[in-house]
Amino acid sequence: MNFSSIISNQALPLAFDTSIIVNLQACTFGKQIVTAVPNPIIIAQIAADELKPGTIERAFLDDLVTSHLVQLSELTDPEYLEYESLITTLDDGESATIALSITRQFFPFIDERKGRAKATERQAMLEPGWSLDLLRHPKAVMALGSPSDADAIYLALKEGRMRIPESRVSDVISLIGTQRATECVSLPNYKKLFPK
């Protein structure tokens, strides 16, 4: 099963929310995926700071930064004003990611519904990407090979509780297999998909 990624032909820099880093770490192939994706990747320092020092997610991010695969960025004054207008309804990481994306014309990556809706509202020309889009980027799929490409999605869903769009559930289940899908409670409509 090979379904497409919305960033396959997108050259813009990518701005990651915290949840994207969590999912990349959880999938165990995160560094290979980030290495394979050709776009520059930027994370707002405010979003990075949501990952507490000493956690495996923060250690993973620090490794990506040290390896020059990801760049951390402070918000500029105009970006901070945008950020402040968003934190009344969103968390810090989502707000900072959207502020960075709007002002610098970066491609935002956010999995949470409220954050995605706000990013779309503020940046109507560009629908935010999902963690799944990174895991299914053709260069990442090629770098991982089979079955590791499917294992990455399974682990991100099971361990990272990755969120995915409802429209891609059947493709994901076909890729990882029904048995493993039953272990992934973050799948949209999980209880309807796998009634007890």
Q: What order do you get walking across the sheet with 71-73 strand by strand?
A: 71-73, 41-44, 14-16, 107-109
Q: What is the DSSP string of 66-78?
A: HTTSSEEEPPPHH
The residues near 14 (Cβ < 8 Å, ≥ 6 apart) are 7, 37, 39, 40, 41, 42, 106, 107, 108, 109, 129
Question: Count of CB atoms within 10 A of residue 179's CB?
Answer: 7
Residue-range domains of the chain with CATH: 14-132 (3.40.50.1010), 145-193 (no CATH)
Pairing of strands 41-44, 71-73: parallel
- Cβ atoms of residues 123 and 101 within 8 Å: yes
The predicted structure's pLDDT at residue 127: 82
Which position has the higher pLDDT, 124 or 84? 84
Regarding pTM above 0.85, the answer is yes
Is the pLDDT at 5 greater than 60, yes or no? no
> pLDDT by residue (tens digit) across 47-76?
999 999 999 999 999 999 999 999 999 999
3-class secondary structure, 71? strand
**Which residue reads 């995926």 in tokens?**
33
The predicted structure's pLDDT at residue 1: 42
- The mean predicted confidence, pLDDT, of the chain is 92
DSSP E strands: which ranges in 75-142?
107-109
| Tally of residues, the chain | 196
**Which residue reads 């940046």 in tokens?**
123
Q: What percent of the chain has pLDDT over 70?
A: 94
The predicted structure's pLDDT at residue 170: 94
